[in-house]
Amino acid sequence: MIVMSDIIRLSHGSGGIEMKEILEKLIFSRVDATLKKVSGGIGIDWLDDGALIPLHDGRYLVISVDSYTVTPLFFPGGNIGTLAASGTINDVLMMGGRPIALLDSIVVEEGFPVKDLQIIIDSFIDVIRSEGVALIGGDFKVMPKGQVDKIIITTTGIGIANKPIIDRPRVGDKIIVSEYVGDHGATIMMLQLHLEKYVDELSKGVLKSDVKPLSKLMIPIIEKYGDYIHAARDPTRGGLAGVLNEWATSSNIVIVIDEESIPIKEPVARYCEMVGIDPLYLASEGVAVLSVDPQVADEVVNYMKSLGYTNARIIGEVRVSEKYRNYVIVKTAIEGFRILEPPHGEIVPRIC
């Protein structure tokens, strides 16, 4: 058990144990059960990428909100504008929703270059234009120099779900990832460590953020296999380890994954080894993790590949075990096993 700090630390925003504990203490425990959701929906009673509000026609309104504070603001593969639009669209998708609209709130520091702001906003608009998602409102504020660090973008995503995905993995499910994991986190990590001049892959574009909206993957998958998808997430803060541990603890299951089956780019693995970080804790911004009925798991992987996600694969399964309930177990390359702990501390700050 982590001892509650008397001050806010970076780890409280990491998506790991410390963040869950402070949110439980300050917010969740103080909100009455009847006010944690709209009747018939999902809210902070069941932590997910967003919330569900039932509509009169049997569908659900999907709403998600997120703030983006990445540093550096510009990175190989995108910028904070690309990240804000893509991230919120993906959060709506992971709850089974078809994104239809966004709102944004932009807070900028006095003295911020207008040309940089223009690039960021252009990138944001390029994403929503390509996705056919409307920008229906927002807010813009300027803070005195030194009272905010450059720029913060908050986005609210709105979507409609015919049948929502509520994160409840079932025993026997196969765990599927759609793409290489850890690219975004590794890229930001190398830039924050000021190692970019030593990393040829960054300059050559081999190592870059994977940030992108996942509509062209998730909408077809949901339409075809929605009844068989029991959980879906994009592994942002906390990475793949964070997603799997949340599923294991919330559903009282054990998840076993095969280390050799997890798609990780060679540069990501190499630089993580160099700095002593497990890539399974690094954020991805263009990857879907699904818990799928075993009857259709191979079909889902093949369908993902037909949609252009050629690195999609099954990496593990959901099991039942009294001894290891609520744990994520990794089968290692040397046929051993290790426990994949929940994210703890701040591995890479200001990552998204």
Question: Cα-Cα-Cα-Cα dihedral of 254, 260, 265, 271, to 10°?
Answer: 80
**Residue with the larger pLDDT of the pair 220 and 270:** 220
Interatomic CA distance for residues 179 and 229, integer angstroms: 17
Whole-number Å distance between alpha carbons of 267 and 106: 34
* 317-344 pLDDT tens trace: 999 888 888 999 999 988 899 999 988 7
Which segment of 92-101, 145-154, 325-334 scores lowest on mean pLDDT? 325-334
Nearest 5°: phi and psi at 126?
Answer: -60, -40
For range 107-125, the mean pLDDT: 98
* Model confidence at 198: pLDDT above 80: no
Please report, for residues 74, 86, 118, 150, the alpha-carbon distance to residue 110 in angstroms, rounded to integers and kept in the order given: 19, 26, 15, 8
Task: Please report how the helices 183-192 and 266-275 are oriented relative to each other, as an axis angle in degrees rounded to 10.
Answer: 50
The CATH label, of 3.40.630.40, 3.90.650.10, 3.30.457.10, 3.40.50.720, for the domain at 174-339 is 3.90.650.10
Max avg pLDDT among 11-15, 129-133, 190-194: 129-133
Which class in CATH covers the domain with range 31-161? alpha beta
Residue 205, pLDDT above cutoff 80: no
Give the tens place of pLDDT for each residue, 213-267.
999 999 999 999 999 999 999 999 999 999 999 999 988 899 999 999 999 999 9
d(CA 44, CA 50): 9
Residue 46 has pLDDT above 90, yes or no: no
2/220 Cα distance (integer angstroms): 41
The Cα–Cα gap between 302 and 253 comes to: 27
Contact 104, 154 (CB under 8 A): yes
Residues 6+ away with beta carbon under 8 Å from 323:
none
Residue 2: the pLDDT is: 46
Backbone angles phi, psi at 123, to 5 degrees: -65, -45
Give the dihedral sign, CA 287/55/124/153. Answer: negative
pLDDT in the model for residue 145 = 96
Instruction: Please state the domain extents for the chain.
Output: 31-161, 174-339
- 29-38, 102-111, 309-318, range with the lowest pLDDT: 29-38
Total residue count of the chain as it appears in this document: 352
Chain centroid to CA 16? 13
Range 90-103 average pLDDT: 98
Q: Rounded to the nearest 5°, which phi and psi values hold at 129?
A: -65, -45
pLDDT above 90 (res 349): no
